[in-house]
Structure 1
Amino acid sequence: MSPGPDFAIVMRQSLVFGKRFAIITSLGIGLAIFVHVAYAVLGIGLLIQSTEWLFKLIQLAGAGYLIYIGYSALQAKPDNSSANAASQSGKAKALDKRNIMTDRKAFRQGFVTNVLNPKATLFFLSLFTTLVDATTPLAVQSFYGIWMAVVTAAWFVFLSYILASNKVRGFFAQFGHWIDRILGGFLIALALFLLWSIIN
């Protein structure tokens, strides 16, 4: 729930592309939780934890993906049309945005953002190495994983509804390109912070 790459990508999807794509992105994030659960349960988490170069490689991939999304968001341009024209051509603009964002792309962005999110990797490594051991039944471990995936998806779907509401989107409509740029900058800042932590 704390602000991070997942939070930023859902916020951007909600404000720029609307509720539908934000929810699809949220479902991608929720499904990605199973990737973390799988490597934690199968013991790959211990391998990653003990093999420093492998974990750093995952961190670098995550930072690279955040920079890619952030750079794309920084390219957002202001809408120069008048308020009346914007009102009359609202449907056309929605169609244009749908051409830019697709269900598959929205899902992929959520999924990849979470899979490459070092915060999620660290969380699951610490959780499964402290709360789960060799004697923990597989059914219990599976329940933990399913519960976390469902709760994560539910939180971001709820966030999508809040941020994509007409009241919120209406407030941010005239500043949409700045919101996109700010969120893009935030994602790049997260990536740079991650790179700094890898170097040090």
Structure 2
Amino acid sequence: MDIDLQTYMPTLAITGALTLGAMSPGPSFIFVARRAISLSRRHGIFTALGMGTGALVLSVVALLGLQTIFSLMPVSYSIFKIAGGCYILFLAFGIVRSARIPLQSIDATRCQDISLFPSYLLGLGTQLSNPKTAIVFASVFTTLLPQNIPTYFYIVVPICTFLSNAGWYLIVALVLSASGPRQAYLKFKQFIDYLSGSVMGGLGLKLIISR
């Protein structure tokens, strides 16, 4: 059976572009890494699945015309950008606030009290709160989608987007929850938390004040 690559090229191109976007450093990477190292591998995995679900949601919205909405109503993007920046600042504040808490205390108390579902929701919220990610999705889809979108795209593309994003963050969670990175985090926890929180806070402020 002959395979018509032209039929699958838009899906492959979109998946590849969004995977490269997910691999670029940003709040999502920092948050998944920290959950995996400071809490547990399972928390990191569920956070990664939340990131993948957020990517799936954004892909569906982009397919339905996110770029058109932002073009017709510029104020909607401004509201989205400010809300996303505030959410990232909130996450950054939480990281900085916990910088002085020893890792042993987090393991003994918080890991038992924090269920896996909140980690999933935090991953989902982090992914959806970043307007830059939404713009990347909208731009990629606008550029690479065929003029006449086949019906199956509305199923295949979101699934591929979920698999690519969740797959990357699962790798991050699995690698960084290993013994070596965990011991390094234990040794330099306060510095790493302050640095991570500062970077995330800077990204949040940039989203709020940028035009």
TM-score by length of 2: 0.82
Q: When the two structures are aligned, how many residues end up with a matched partner?
A: 189
Q: Tell me the residue number matched to 1:72.
A: 94
Question: Which one of the candidate residues 166, 185, 194 is aligned to 1:181?
Answer: 194
With over 3 angstroms needed to count, the CA separation of the structure-2 counterparts of 1:77 and 1:189, relative to structure 1, is closer
Q: Tell me the residue number matched to 2:84.
A: 62
Question: Which one of the candidate residues 123, 145, 156 is aligned to 1:143?
Answer: 156
**Amino acid paired to 1:156:** Y
Identity of aligned residues (%): 24
Q: Tell me the residue number matched to 2:125.
A: 112
With over 3 angstroms needed to count, the CA separation of the structure-2 counterparts of 1:100 and 1:183, relative to structure 1, is farther
Which range moved further: 64-73 or 188-197? 188-197
Residue 18 (structure 1) aligned with residue 40 (structure 2): yes
Q: Report the 3-state secondary structure (helix = DSSP H, G, I; strand = E; otherwise coil) of the residue aligned with 2:210.
A: helix
CA deviation vs aligned residue, 1:131-168 (integer Å, no higher than 9, x gap): 22451202134322211110110100011111110111
Q: Tell me the residue number matched to 1:195.
A: 208
- C-alpha contact (below 8 Å) 1:64/1:191 kept by paired residues: yes
Q: Report the 3-state secondary structure (helix = DSSP H, G, I; strand = E; otherwise coil) of the residue aligned with 2:145.
A: coil
How much has 1:101 moved relative to structure 2?
3.3
Residue 122 (structure 1) aligned with residue 135 (structure 2): yes
Residue 32 (structure 1) aligned with residue 54 (structure 2): yes
Q: Report the 3-state secondary structure (helix = DSSP H, G, I; strand = E; otherwise coil) of the residue aligned with 1:123.
A: helix
CA deviation vs aligned residue, 1:166-190 (integer Å, no higher than 9, x gap): 1111122122232222111111010
How much has 1:78 moved relative to structure 2?
3.2
Which runs of no fewer than 5 residues in structure 1 stay unpaired?
81-85
How much has 1:93 moved relative to structure 2?
5.2
1:47 and 1:156 map into 2 onto residues whose CA distance is 29
Residue 168 (structure 1) aligned with residue 181 (structure 2): yes
TM-score by length of 1: 0.86
- C-alpha contact (below 8 Å) 1:36/1:115 kept by paired residues: yes
CA RMSD of the aligned region, Å?
A: 2.0
